[in-house]
Every structure is written in structure tokens, then in C-alpha cells.
Structure 1
């Protein structure tokens, strides 16, 4: 199938990069999950694709780059530099959810590079939908693996054989200091404060909302135990007096005053600094009970038409100078050695946005459950949103 027509980047970066992210119940139920070892709702990759998975990809330009990612997640100047250096075009398409990404793959759309989150990367790997990446062929791979040991053998891709990390981020609480003061207690309990009655938003995201309550209660962030989910549901129902709504457009809610406190992704809070007239009005904290951690990944689909170009693009993005430029554009840290000071300077007003190598821990990542576990989490999410 021919690649889709390019999607031009937006002229102004005024929306949250994940403002369209949703994890609805129907989408999760529709995955048809069996166990974590199944294809997890993906159509069969076929024998030929599985055999191709084991073939090493040659580092060479073999066509234009057909790129599929969240909108506005690579600086257009970085794209332009890649195109000029290698004499190719970047053909862009965008998704607005992981479910949307998978639907396109299942429909037969072919891309050279995709960017799944960690739990979706695991599903793609186990569904034999990704090419193997020999990282010894990447000239700049040591910029990741030499500084961030966690990604050498992540739970979602053992041996990091099919992915490399693209971004990393965590979830915390953003608030308006001009409305409720300069500091919070440093706990998820702050969302329940009487000072913010009717003025709190949480993310419109199943895992994030169930996860914050799980951490508040000292439970596993991805628990699917019925008793745990009952406690989580009760806890979140008790938040209703403070809750104004569910929205993943966290920083715009703060900027407009629609919220005085919100659950927020660290990268979106960093991006807000580009829009805030006075950043000192805002704050961001990470709860002492724990903050969910996540990663987006570089991955090459098993049927990629130009896998060599995809390898060249990954290597290009791993150059510290390109990673630094992209970090300043998207507001999310990239685990590339030599970029840490760039991100720290970018988020100086919100130092808790920084994701250190020591914060990357298995138990803080959202994990895949079996079919029963996914249904139980979907049912809990439905009860939470119904009030």
C-alpha cells in the first residue's frame, strides 16, 4: 500500500502534544487480549514477516522516510536537516492514540518508523510486528545505552532488540501558585485538598487515573486485582467534589485558569513554559508516593518499505546536537547522553520534570494485563467516569 500523503506540522505549537490521547473502555476491550504472549489484537504478521524480523537491517538510504508519530513531535528543522543531508523526503502521518496507530497498521498501511509507548511496544514485539534492530550498527547508540542502562534490557523489549527509547516522561501535579500558594504537600493527596474544590482536572487516561489512586493507596500502579480496583474506584469517587473534569489538555487548562490544579505529564508542563507569560505563576510537583514513568520508542514495522532509511533516521536523531534541538522543541527529555543540561535548563522553573536515569524503574511503568485484567481495569475506569 502506498504511504499516506504528508501531514504538515501545525504552524503554532499551542496544544498539548497528548491532548488527543484517550484510553477508552471500548478500545481496550476491543483488543481481544489473551495473555501477554499473544499478538494482543494485532492481525497476524505472517511467516515471511516473522522471518524478516531476524534479518539484520543494512544502514543505508533505501527510499524516502515514511514516518508515523504523535503530531508535532520532531522539530521541523531537524527533519529538514535529515532531508538535506541524505537527499530524501520525510513523508509524515500522525496518530492521536495508540489504538489509532494499531488500526492503521492492521489496515495495511506501511510505515518505516513508528513510535509506540512502552506497553504497546511490548504488544508489537510479541505480535511479531517489528523488525529487529542491531544497535551495534548504529554509530550513536552508545549515547543511549552507555548512559541509560535501563534501556539495555527493558521489560517491554528484552535486550532492546526491536526498539530504542525516543522520549521519557513522568506524571505529576501542576497547579497555579497565584490561586493556592507557592507549595503543596508533595502527595497525590493534594488533589483532594479543600482549597481546590471543583477546580481539579485529571487526565482523560485510564492508566494514569487508576495509577494515581493506586500509588496513593500503596498499590501496584497497574494492578488488576478486583479488591484493589474496588479500593481505587472508591478513592477516586471521593475526589468527585474537587473534580471539574477529565482532560488531557492539561497545560491549557492551567493557562486559561480553567483549572487551578491538574494531573499532568511532565513534558506538557515543560511545553507550557513556551506559552506562559509568567512561568512563576505555575508549579509542578511529583508525588512522594511515586510518579508513573513512561517511554516512547523508535520502532521499525516488520513490513517497513524503507528500513535502511529508518535506521539512518534513528542514528541521526541520536546525535546529541539533534536530540538537544528536539528536546527544546517538544519539551520532553530524550535519553541521549550530553543532552541532560539542555533539558534541565529548559525546565528550570519546574525541576521535577527532569527524569533521571535512577528514576527508570519497572514498577512505575504501566504494564499489560491478560484479557481478564484489561476488562477489570476498563470496568473500573467506566465506574470512575460515571461517578
Structure 2
């Protein structure tokens, strides 16, 4: 997911042997998206397992990958997305997870298990999922929001927010043109680039987390966002009328899973952490904090009824059926995307 950079260290007092810090508490280092876990449940885990959680966040899968790959820092738990999990498995950077130590895996709906990026879930455990779409102000947007084309409508000039992410914004442009979000043909990728460059004069800004305040204030009419961010914006705002739509051309469906790096210092505590986060009551708290769709069926039953009416949270089967999961593209193809993204960024 797609959040702001933040570093937290959540502390507890008791002692647990194994992987200990200088003050004799067990340590668990977690690397996750920003705003993607309720701090209260982290504190609860620390209390129940007598440990210290060092919690760091990243803003993109690529930033996470570079740090984990090249830094001397080590992590016990990561929360990457589907295509990045596929890459980490290919590069032998993950260790298998013992399902015997994750009994709460039984709470996860089968639709989020055994997906192509990790067949059999040997290396990953589902956390959240969602889709890319458009959140829009129903008072300002008078046209149907059923196609990516509306982002190129000059009627909404300077009221359009794009997502500051190469795969996502390029993906939206590709789908609008009838191509796959995993396009590898250079001509088609460049066509999507040219469309985004042509659109640039209509765009207020390319944003990440500040999309929430800009949509909640009414400053923007529409934004490319993931469903969970839309759900939070809609649930926390009563002064602006908002809705969320997945364009008919299709979009990206993502699955963010827990994984354990091969060089983790405390893998046993990491599995306890993952199992704890799959407890229905804990998962429900995270849902209410994060806003993304959860595959944890017992947790869904604990939610307030207001969540069932939230179009950002309730991703329909029809919407999911039109979506595709990002794949880990070859390096030579990503070089084409990176060049295209640079040209979009410098255009005016």
C-alpha cells in the first residue's frame, strides 16, 4: 500500500528470552506500509508477548525492496504486495512459514489463498487486499464515473489527483487504452506514457497520503486511489459526498501479505506476530484503522454495519473479476517503465 514514511518504536517492559536487546527484551522488527496497522494492536502484542516491536514503514514496494536487499538492517516481518512477494521468492530472500505455528490461518477465506504469486502460501500469509479505482465528489462530478476516461476530461481541469506511483498510474493509463497493467510491449507502454503527459495540464497534483485531506476538503473532485484509502476518506468525512468506482476497463487488484525474510533474527516471534494479527478481534481493529478489505471472515462478522455500505471497503466480486494482479516484470521491461515515468515527471 501506499503511505507516508513513519518510524515508530513501541515498547513494553517485561522480558522474553531470545533475540534480546541490551535491556533483555525480545525484539521484533517489522517493516510495513505507513498507516497500515493500528498502533494499539502492536502495543497489545508487546504486552502479551513481553517484547519490543521496532516498527518502520515504507512508501512503496520498490523502496522496501531496495532497503531489504542492500541495507545491513535486518527485519523479521515484511508486508509486501503480490508481485514483490513473487520477486522475493525468486531471489531466495524469504523463508518458508510454518503453518503449524499459524493456526489462525483457518480464519482466512480461500479466495485469498493459493494465488499465483505464492502457490500454496509457502512463504506468505494474507493481510489485506483491495483494488485501484477512483474516489470522487458526487456534488462536483456530474458525469458517470465508470471509465478511466474521466481522468482526461478537461471539464475537471485542476481538480484531478493522480497517484504518485509508477505501476499504478501507468497501469490506469494502460487499461484505458485497452492494454494489460502488466504490459511488456514498449510501444504500448510509451502510448500510456504519452497519454499521461497529455493529461498533465489537467492534473492538480500527483499525490500519496495527502489525497485524503484534498478529497475531504473538497479541493479536488476526483482521485486515483486504492479502495481502502477511499473507504477511510468516506467513513471519516461527513461534510463532502464521496463515492468510489472501479472503471469498466478493469484495474489492479492487490494482495498484501506477511512474509519473513530469510535473514530474520527472530522468526519464531515473527510467526507469533503473524498469528496474533489473524486473531478475529485484532484483525477487526486493524480493519477499522486501515480501511482495506480483509480476507479474515470471522473479523468481518465483528464490524459495525456501517462498513457494509462503504463502497471503498466492500469490493464486489464483479469488480475483482475485472482486475488483474501485478506481476514482477523483467528488469529490461521495468527500465522502459522507469524511463517513461521520468518523462512524465519532468513534463508540464
Kept in 2, the 8 Å contact 1:344–1:354? The answer is no
Does the aligned pair in 1 maintain the 2:163–2:225 contact within 8 Å? yes
Partner of 2:41: 78
Given the alignment of the two structures, is residue 382 of structure 1 paired with residue 345 of structure 2, yes or no? no
Describe the SS at the equivalent of 1:186. coil
Q: Does 1:133 align with 2:97?
A: yes
How far is 1:70 from its partner? 2.0
TM-score computed with the length of structure 1 as normaliser: 0.77
Instruction: Describe the shift of the 1:103–1:236 C-alpha distance in structure 2 as closer, same or farther (beyond 3 A).
Output: closer
Match in the other structure for 2:205? 245
Q: What's the counterpart of residue 309 of structure 1?
A: 269
Larger displacement relative to structure 2 (156-165 or 335-344): 335-344
Give the C-alpha shift of residue 200 in structure 1: 0.9
Instruction: Tell me by how many angstroms 1:184 deviates.
Output: 2.1
The equivalences for 1:138-157 within 5 A come to 138-144=102-108, 147-152=109-114, 154-157=115-118
Would the alpha carbon gap of residues 384 and 289 (structure 1) be closer, same or farther in structure 2, given more than 3 Å must change? same
- Distance (Å, rounded) in 2 between the aligned partners of 1:251 and 1:349: 19
Could you say which residue in structure 2 is the equivalent of 1:334? Answer: 294
SS in 2 for 1:230: helix
Pick closer, same or farther for the CA change 1:179–1:296 going to 2, 3 Å. same
Residue 169 of structure 1: aligned partner: 130
The question of whether the paired residues in 2 share the 8 Å contact of 1:61 and 1:312 is answered with: no
Map residues 234-273 of structure 1 onto 2, 5 A cutoff: 234-248=194-208, 249-273=210-234
Distance 2:188 2:221 in 1: 29
1:239-261 alpha-carbon deviations (Å, 9 max, x no partner): 23422221123222212333211
Asked whether the equivalents of residues 66 and 92 of structure 1 are also in contact (C-alpha less than 8 Å), the reply is yes
Are 1:323 and 2:283 an aligned pair?
Answer: yes
Unaligned runs of 5+ in 1: 1-15, 22-59
Q: Distance in 2 between matches of 1:72 and 1:185?
A: 27
Correspondence for 2:246: 286
The answer as to whether partners of 1:138 and 1:315 remain within 8 angstroms in 2 is: yes
Gaps of 5+ in 2: 7-16, 20-25
Taking a change above 3 Å as real, the CA distance of residues 72 and 173 of structure 1, as seen in their structure-2 partners, is closer
1:1-387 alignment, distance < 5 Å: 18-19=3-4, 63-105=26-68, 106-144=70-108, 147-152=109-114, 154-181=115-142, 184-248=144-208, 249-279=210-240, 281-341=241-301, 345-348=305-308, 350-356=310-316, 364-387=324-347
Matched residue SS, 2:250:
coil
Note if contact 1:267-1:331 (Cα within 8 Å) is conserved in structure 2.
yes
Distance 1:203 1:20 in 2: 16
What is the CA RMSD across the aligned residues, in angstroms?
2.7
Distance 1:335 1:175 in 2: 26
Question: 1:268: Cα distance to partner?
Answer: 1.0
Write the deviation string for residues 58-105 of structure 1: whole angstroms up to 9, x where unpaired: xx9863322221233221221232222222222222223333323432
Equivalent residues, number: 329
Give the alignment's TM-score, normalised by structure 2: 0.85
| 1:255-293 Cα shifts (integer Å, max 9, x gaps) | 2333211111111111213542325x2221111111211
C-alpha distance after superposition, 1:341-387 (max 9, x if no partner)? 56684545542542356765696112222122111111222233333
Structure having the larger proportion of residues in strand: 2
CA distance in 2, matches of 1:346, 1:61: 43
Distance 1:223 1:323, change over 3 A: same
**Relative contact order higher in (CA < 8 Å, ≥ 6 apart):** 1
